[in-house]
């Protein structure tokens, strides 16, 4: 009885070695694929990190305005948060590895063990491969470790944005000089200026307010300069009037304390008051003093007294 003819592919398939006799080179590549799969598990877990950062980037987009100097801490946090995107390079390399392995398996199906070098040749090159694999693992683990650390730093930087610690102690502190009014002071960023005229007792008093805010607008730093040039004023009454005006012209504000002292050799007045805004009460601190026919008022809203004093102590006259 004549046996049915079988395809060359079936005969070749039966002639291949058993699974435990796979060529060593093929075994090594299969092991490499397993390692790659484990790496992809790690990267997939890390990728969950990107979900909450979507909100961060939405907030960042609303904060970045061409007419306003962006916060250095915010920009730095965005740079750190963006770094893990580089993890995308690793999956691309692994994807290439899987495609190359697919091609080798196809060759193995067609020509069997001849698709790979002999076990003897493979063993000869084993020391060099082990060295290369060790170096590759060290580099890969270092990259993953660096990204994990950067993620932690980014999250920590984000959370410290809400810290009550004064931002003037951070690298966001920006020295600002007003040539017009002859002073310098450290603001948390470049301040905006607004010019107005105050009608008081029949006099028109020009004034300028320099303002910079931080912590999403929850903290404000101000310098007010009121020009009394040519007007005979009572220094004590003017300083008291400045405090009363600051409180009375702020809706819902309540004066807590007010007392006279000295500041950089000048008579000054210090005041502490509270300001309610949308259900939240903020502390306001003010220091007023007069020099050369101009009254200067240093103010913070939303900061504590220590931070206010730190801010005020950066003030100095330039002329």
Condensed to tens digits (0 to 9), the pLDDT of residues 173-195 reads 788 999 989 999 999 888 898 88
Tell me, what's the pLDDT at 199? 75
- Nearest of 301, 300, 299, 298 to residue 282 by alpha carbon: 301
Paired with 195 in beta bridges are 208
288 versus 20: which is more confidently predicted?
Answer: 288
289 pLDDT exceeds 90? yes
Mean pLDDT (whole number) for 55-74:
74
Residue environment code for 205-234, b if the CB has 16+ CB neighbours within 10 A, otherwise e? bebbbbbbbbbeeebbbbbbbbbbeeeebe
Instruction: Give the residue among 284, 313, 289 at the shortest CA–CA distance from 240.
Output: 289
CA 270 to centroid of chain Cα atoms: 35
Burial label, 15 (beta-carbon count in 10 A; 0-12, 13-18, 19+): exposed
CA distances in angstroms from 295 to 121, 225, 240, 257, listed in the order given? 89, 6, 12, 20
Query: How far is the C-alpha of 121 from the C-alpha of 199, rounded, in Å?
Result: 96
* Predicted confidence (pLDDT) per residue in 125-150, tens digit: 888 878 877 887 777 677 667 766 76
C-alpha to C-alpha distance for 82 and 94, rounded to whole angstroms:
21
pTM attached to this predicted model: 0.49
Which among 198, 194, 222 is positioned nearest to 208, based on CA atoms?
194
pLDDT at 291: 92
Q: Mind listing the pLDDT tens digit for each residue in 90-105? A: 788 788 888 888 888 8
What span, in angstroms and rounded, lies between the C-alpha atoms of 181 and 319? 9
Which range, 33-37, 57-61, 78-82, 84-88, is most confident?
33-37
User: What is the pairing mode between strands 219-227 and 203-214?
Assistant: antiparallel
Mean pLDDT of the chain: 79
pLDDT at 6 over 60: no
296: nearest Cα among 275, 312, 310: 312
Compute the average pLDDT of residues 98-118.
85
Closest CA to 286 of 258, 267, 315: 258
What architecture is the 167-317 domain classified under in CATH?
3-Layer(aba) Sandwich (3.40)
Measure the N-to-C terminal CA separation of the chain; round to a whole number of Å. Answer: 118
Phi-psi domain of 89 (left: phi exceeds 0; alpha: psi -120 through 50; beta: other) = alpha
Question: Where does the pLDDT of residue 11 fall: very low under 50, low under 70, confident under 90, or very high at 90 and above?
Answer: very low
Q: Specify the pLDDT at position 288.
A: 92
Give the model's pLDDT for residue 156.
60
> Is the pLDDT confidence value at 12 over 50?
no
Q: How confident is residue 285, by pLDDT bands cut at 50, 70 and 90?
A: very high
Q: Over the stretch 242-278, which tens digit does the pLDDT of each residue have? A: 888 888 877 888 899 999 999 999 999 999 999 888 7
Residue 166's pLDDT band (boundaries 50, 70, 90)?
Answer: very low
Distance CA 209, CA 301 (A): 14
How would residue 3 be classed by pLDDT, with cut points 50, 70 and 90?
very low
Percentage of the chain lying above the pLDDT 90 cut = 22
């Amino acid at each position: 009885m004549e046996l049915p003819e079988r395809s060359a592919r079936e005969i070749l398939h039966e002639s291949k070695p058993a699974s435990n006799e796979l060529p060593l080179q093929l075994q090594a590549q299969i092991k490499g694929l397993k390692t790659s799969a484990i790496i992809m598990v790690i990267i997939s877990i890390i990728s969950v990190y990107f979900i909450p950062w979507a909100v961060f980037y939405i907030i960042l987009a609303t904060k970045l305005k061409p007419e306003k100097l962006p916060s250095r801490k915010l920009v730095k946090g965005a740079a750190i948060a963006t770094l893990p995107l580089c993890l995308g390079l690793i999956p691309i390399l692994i994807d290439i590895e899987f495609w190359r392995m697919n091609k080798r398996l196809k060759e193995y199906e067609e020509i069997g063990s001849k698709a790979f070098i002999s076990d003897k040749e493979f063993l000869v090159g084993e020391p060099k491969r082990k060295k290369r694999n060790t170096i590759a693992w060290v580099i890969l683990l270092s990259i993953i470790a660096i990204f994990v650390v950067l993620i932690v730093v980014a999250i920590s930087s984000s959370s410290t944005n809400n810290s009550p610690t004064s931002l003037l102690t951070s690298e966001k502190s920006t020295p600002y000089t007003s040539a017009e009014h002859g002073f310098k002071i450290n603001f948390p960023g470049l301040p905006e200026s607004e010019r107005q005229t105050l009608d008081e007792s029949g006099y028109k008093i020009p004034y300028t307010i320099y303002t910079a805010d931080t912590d999403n607008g929850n903290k404000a730093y101000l310098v007010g300069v009121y020009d009394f040039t040519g007007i005979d004023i009572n220094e004590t009454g003017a300083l008291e009037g400045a405090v009363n005006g600051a409180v009375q012209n702020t809706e819902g504000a309540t004066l807590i304390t007010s007392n006279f002292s000295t500041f950089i050799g000048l008579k000054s007045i210090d005041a502490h008051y509270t300001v309610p805004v949308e259900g939240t009460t903020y502390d306001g601190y003010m220091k007023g003093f007069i020099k050369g026919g101009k009254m200067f008022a240093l103010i913070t809203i939303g900061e504590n007294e220590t931070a206010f004093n730190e801010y005020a102590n950066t003030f100095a006259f330039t002329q």
